[in-house]
Structure 1
Amino acid sequence: MKILTLNTRSWVDGNKEQLPILAAEIAKEDYDVIALQEVNQSKDATEAYLDGFYCPTLTDAAIKADNFALKLVEALQVKDKEYYWSWSFCHYGYEPFEEGVALLSKEPMIAKDYVVTETEDYKADHGRRILVGLTAGDGQLIQVVSGHFDWWQEHFASEWQKTLVDVGTEHALIVAGDFNEPAQGPGYQLILASSDLQDAFTAAKERYGEFTVPGEIAGWEGDKEAKRVDYVFADANFEVLSYEVTFDGKKAPQISDHYGVSAVIRFKE
């Protein structure tokens, strides 16, 4: 299975090339499952018409016509690539957008979303949800999570513990996204200590690149150090064949303030 995660920062910077570049790379690389964060839609856009590839959750925000995940799926359909998909509203991010997380899967998906923060105030930046998709990979059921977690000094620990409760242990698990937590930091150590999840970077037999944030970005003002805050974690059911940083301006054009992470994993024999 080929997995991609990317914090898209979609629509915020007015980058009109972001969507076609992302669609072209997804079509070329033929990812099986894609986890996206900062997937935005305009507050005032009209409600979208959704076809059978949309997998609904109980989220309390309607899908708008300019939802970035919707537009991406439509761009992929033009390229004869069809993905089932879902989106969950997290909070009001950069004005005038509703920000969320998304999942795309080649296989049909049952989608659920869960509030993992202690607050229900989605006007606050700290309103967070995870999006969980039950789908298939390598012919077996898998549970995939797209998450955009808070900083350690805010609510990371409680959000992570709530995530573990919500996803459970019934199915093989992959958790991907923007964790706002540098490798080897206290949140990273908590992930490894509280679960059987393995970091695709450290577990991979082959690697290209490491860092996913080149320096200072929004939320990391004044921090010019390159860091790894975007991850693909896979549980003990899987072995990780490769880890690759992409959308870094080298492997693929940079289209966000974060780089993407691609991992190839398979069920252990």
Structure 2
Amino acid sequence: MIVQLSGSVSDPNNEILNGEVHWGDQSIGYFGMDEFQELQKTHHYALPGTYCIKIHLLNSSGIVVKDSAEVHIDYLETSLSNVQSEFFTKTSNEFLVLTLNLHTYQEDNQNEKFNIIADVIGKLNIDFVAFQECAQNRNASMYSGNIRTDNMALKIAAIIEKKYNKKYNFIWDWAHYGWQIYEEGICILSKEQPLDQESRLVSKSTSKDDITTRKVIYGAYQMLGRQFNIFSAHLHWRQSLNDEEQNNQIKALKAMAIAKEASSGEAITIVAGDFNGNPTSSYPYSEGYTTMVGNGDYIDAFLAKNPNANVIPADPRYYTVGGSLPGRIDYIFIKNNDKVNVKASQILFTNQVIGVVSDHFGVLTKLEVVQ
């Protein structure tokens, strides 16, 4: 939330030395004589609210002029005008799934981005959300269980409840430290209460100080007369030609899903998250994707509706992550059976659609339960 203050200062006696802008949030801006004729000051507010902005002009003896104005600051309305029309309506047997890597508190204007994410979930009434790099500071106070007061999912759920009067529950666990100070985790957010839940290591490493340490979180939910087995995953990238860690993590994830299906009967299995594997990369760096879908166990929901997404050379329209190594690495995988149809799938948090909230762009998918 940015406020721009503009104006001018008249000082015919040349007694004013400098000025101060007190923004009302304990921040102070300063300006000198060279700015009096055309004063332009910009300030960023971290939180919405009503603030009293005060101007102080000072001479050698102290404050000689004061002025103030009260302003109400709020987030801009999140526009959904570029979201595909299919996502705005749901039949009685359709539901929405979103996956998004939240980038572990590394974003500027984090509260505004929380608000955008909450708006999308609240306005579209998304049923299941898989978060990765859903973090909390290791020094923050405890809220409940293993959840700290600054947990990113907790923040987003609170905004949704306040703005949309919708109660979202979430399950969360963390695998390793990010940037040394964050407990970096995976999460499933849903309006439904989980019937069962588990987080499980899928990596060789178990050390919290090792970035290759990875967990998958699972939640079972009852909805639309069916059981849904939802998994949120954040797997490691392949580091060398002979590195099998990513493949092994994917195999462990698939084995976990099979075990949960065996114990739950006719469940619908959805695996979502950041797999750090790009199907358009050169072999063997594309192998992780093949390990997930190659034997036909799972359908890549986005590919089902965007059949050119894996064409080489890669099309930037299909990237789900930016930065120095852009590509398509975030997925919603559906167990390949006759229980679910893919109705729509869109990359969401880009400047062309919603706006950027992370270094990842998220994938939203609409699915239909086959009755």
TM-score range (shorter-chain normalised) is 0.7 to 0.9
Q: Structure 1's 165 and 203: CA in aligned 2 closer, same or farther, altered over 3 A?
A: same
- Whether 1:32 aligns to 2:127 is yes
The equivalent residue for 1:69 is 153
- Whether 1:127 aligns to 2:228 is no
**Does the 8 Å CA contact 2:251/2:291 hold for their aligned counterparts?**
no
Higher mean alpha-carbon deviation, 20-29 vs 193-202, is at 193-202
- Whether 1:243 aligns to 2:345 is yes
- Whether 1:254 aligns to 2:338 is no
The equivalent residue for 1:53 is none
Instruction: Give the distance between the partners of 2:296 and 2:197, measured in 1 at CA.
Output: 22
Instruction: Give the distance between the partners of 1:124 and 1:132, measured in 2 at CA.
Output: 22
- Whether 1:8 aligns to 2:112 is no
C-alpha offsets along residues 16-57 of structure 1, whole Å, 9 cap, x if unaligned? 31111111111111100000000110011111047xxxxxxx
The equivalent residue for 2:251 is 161
Q: What is the letter of the counterpart of residue 350 of structure 2?
A: D
Instruction: Give the distance between the partners of 2:109 and 2:216, measured in 1 at CA.
Output: 26
Q: What is the letter of the counterpart of residue 292 of structure 2?
A: I
> Pick from 103, 110, 123: which aligns with 2:188?
103
Instruction: Give the distance between the partners of 1:206 and 1:119, measured in 2 at CA.
Output: 36
Instruction: Give the distance between the partners of 1:242 and 1:268, measured in 2 at CA.
Output: 15
Q: Is the partner of 2:143 in helix, strand or coil?
A: coil
C-alpha offsets along residues 205-260 of structure 1, whole Å, 9 cap, x if unaligned? 899952212341xxx3xxxxx41100000112211011101011121110100101
Instruction: Give the distance between the partners of 1:198 and 1:165, measured in 2 at CA.
Output: 16
Instruction: Give the distance between the partners of 2:189 and 2:257, measured in 1 at CA.
Output: 18
Q: Structure 1's 247 and 187: CA in aligned 2 closer, same or farther, altered over 3 A?
A: same
The equivalent residue for 1:44 is 139
Q: Is the partner of 2:148 in helix, strand or coil?
A: coil
Deviation at 1:10, TM superposition (A): 3.4
CA RMSD for the aligned pairs?
2.0
The equivalent residue for 1:59 is none
Instruction: Give the distance between the partners of 1:12 and 1:202, measured in 2 at CA.
Output: 29
Q: Structure 1's 195 and 122: CA in aligned 2 closer, same or farther, altered over 3 A?
A: farther
Unaligned runs of 5+ in 1: 51-61, 221-225
**Does the 8 Å CA contact 2:104/2:182 hold for their aligned counterparts?**
no
Instruction: Give the distance between the partners of 2:307 and 2:158, measured in 1 at CA.
Output: 33
- Whether 1:197 aligns to 2:298 is yes
The structure with the largest alpha-carbon Rg is 2
Q: Is the partner of 1:48 in helix, strand or coil?
A: strand
TM-score normalised to the size of structure 2?
0.64
- Whether 1:188 aligns to 2:282 is no
Instruction: Give the distance between the partners of 2:341 and 2:140, measured in 1 at CA.
Output: 43
Q: Is the partner of 2:142 in helix, strand or coil?
A: coil
Deviation at 1:183, TM superposition (A): 2.1
Instruction: Give the distance between the partners of 2:124 and 2:300, measured in 1 at CA.
Output: 22
The equivalent residue for 1:213 is 321
**Does the 8 Å CA contact 2:175/2:215 hold for their aligned counterparts?**
yes
**Does the 8 Å CA contact 1:12/1:94 hold for their aligned counterparts?**
no
Unaligned runs of 5+ in 2: 1-94, 281-285, 310-316
The equivalent residue for 1:232 is 332
C-alpha offsets along residues 49-103 of structure 1, whole Å, 9 cap, x if unaligned? 47xxxxxxxxxxx211111111111111112121121111110012311100010
Q: Structure 1's 142 and 186: CA in aligned 2 closer, same or farther, altered over 3 A?
A: same
Instruction: Give the distance between the partners of 1:149 and 1:206, measured in 2 at CA.
Output: 24
Q: What is the letter of the counterpart of residue 165 of structure 1?
A: A
Q: Structure 1's 195 and 112: CA in aligned 2 closer, same or farther, altered over 3 A?
A: farther
| Structure richer in strand, relative to its length | 2
**Does the 8 Å CA contact 2:198/2:218 hold for their aligned counterparts?**
yes
The equivalent residue for 2:274 is 178
**Does the 8 Å CA contact 2:270/2:332 hold for their aligned counterparts?**
yes
Q: Percent identity?
A: 29
Deviation at 1:15, TM superposition (A): 2.7
**Does the 8 Å CA contact 1:201/1:207 hold for their aligned counterparts?**
no
Instruction: Give the distance between the partners of 2:109 and 2:176, measured in 1 at CA.
Output: 22
Q: Is the partner of 2:364 in helix, strand or coil?
A: strand
